[in-house]
């Protein structure tokens, strides 16, 4: 009986240690992720202002993308004390706002990355039409429209609950943030399924476009290499012809000199 109790206590102690270790690792991961998010995006703002080899429309999308990532990191910050305390230390409305901020900016980031991919596609496939198709004003308008629209749509998705506004949001102590209450099976749950499928579709489209860009880039690189090879061959051929022509002229001049010398010698003898 005592040995059974000891084994049970030992097993429970081991589970507690494993759980505490996982919690510490997850907390450290959140801290490092938030720091990297703040530092990286701040440096990105500074570096983008000094870069000159990136087109202005692409810079605009990168600015919006950095702002979206920064807002995502801000939404994760309150999860750090929540994981340590195993409870949400703030108001429930703030918990809802944090998950709203995280989910919204994650979706915006995916759509903006898709826009950057499309920008690369136009630059590679239609290089002569790029300046007229992709402009700075269009990039600003499209990025702003995506940001505002996604914020509005996510506010509706999260706000409509099965038992009232924002009622389908639940706090999960293990991860330290609020998310969908899958037990409620309300509009927020099903809307998140729909949004997830749409974002997955965007990821597939992004992969296809990147593959097309890589294929076109490979063909253009091969075409450029072949044209450079032909150019070098023509240059070498011309150089060889010129060299041969110079050698022929020298030999002709030397032959003429020798003939003249022979004639002069024959005249002297005669």
CA of 232: how far to CAs of 221, 229, 235, 243, 244, in Å?
Answer: 16, 5, 5, 16, 18
Element (H, E) at 178: strand 177-180
Helix, strand, coil abundance in the chain, percent, nearest 5: 80, 5, 15
| pLDDT of 2 | 47
| pLDDT of 135 | 87
What domains are there in the chain, each with its CATH number? 2-230 (1.20.1070.10)
| pLDDT of 19 | 78
| pLDDT of 264 | 47
| pLDDT of 74 | 93
Measured distance CA(170)–CA(177) in Å, rounded: 8
Counting other chains too, the contacts that 74-78 makes at CB distance below 8 Å and 24 or more residues apart are 74/101, 75/99, 75/101, 75/102, 75/105, 76/30, 76/33, 76/34, 76/37, 76/102, 76/177, 77/34, 78/177
Alpha helices in 51-91 (DSSP H): 56-76, 79-85
How many beta carbons lie within 10 A of that of residue 50, not counting itself? 6
Q: List the pLDDT tens digit at each of the 270 positions of the chain.
A: 444 554 545 556 777 788 788 888 988 999 999 999 999 999 998 888 888 888 888 899 999 999 999 999 999 999 999 988 888 888 888 988 999 999 899 989 988 988 888 888 888 888 787 777 888 898 999 999 999 999 998 888 888 776 777 788 888 888 888 888 878 777 777 877 887 888 788 888 888 888 888 888 788 777 777 766 665 656 556 655 566 566 666 666 665 665 555 554 555 454
Tokens linked to 37: 């998010």
Measured distance CA(151)–CA(75) in Å, rounded: 14
CA of 243: how far to CAs of 208, 212, 237, in Å?
Answer: 52, 46, 10
Q: What is the CA radius of gyration of the chain?
A: 35
Q: What is the reported pTM?
A: 0.73
| pLDDT of 53 | 80
């Amino acid at each position: 009986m005592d040995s059974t109790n000891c084994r049970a206590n030992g097993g429970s102690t081991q589970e507690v240690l494993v759980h505490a270790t996982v919690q510490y690792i997850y907390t450290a991961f959140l801290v490092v992720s938030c720091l990297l998010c703040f530092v990286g995006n701040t440096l990105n703002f500074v570096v983008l202002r000094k870069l000159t080899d990136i087109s202005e429309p692409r810079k605009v999308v990168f600015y919006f993308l950095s702002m979206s990532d920064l807002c995502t990191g801000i939404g994760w910050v309150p999860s750090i004390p929540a994981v340590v305390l195993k409870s949400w230390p703030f108001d429930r409305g703030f918990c809802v706002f944090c998950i709203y901020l995280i989910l919204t900016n994650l979706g915006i980031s995916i759509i903006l990355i898709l826009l950057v991919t499309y920008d690369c596609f136009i630059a590679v496939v239609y290089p002569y039409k790029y300046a007229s198709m992709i402009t700075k004003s269009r990039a600003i308008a499209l990025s702003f429209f995506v940001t505002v629209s996604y914020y509005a749509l996510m506010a509706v998705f999260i706000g409509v609950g099965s038992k009232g506004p924002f009622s389908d949001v639940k706090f999960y102590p293990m991860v330290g943030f609020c998310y969908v209450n899958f037990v409620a099976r309300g509009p927020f749950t099903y809307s998140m399924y729909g949004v997830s499928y749409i974002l997955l579709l965007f990821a597939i489209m992004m992969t296809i476009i990147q593959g097309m860009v890589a294929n076109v880039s490979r063909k253009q690189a091969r075409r450029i290499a072949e044209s450079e090879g032909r150019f070098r061959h023509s240059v070498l051929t011309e150089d060889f012809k010129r060299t041969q022509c110079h050698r022929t002229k020298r030999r002709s001049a030397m032959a003429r000199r020798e003939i003249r010398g022979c004639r002069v010698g024959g005249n002297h003898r005669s």
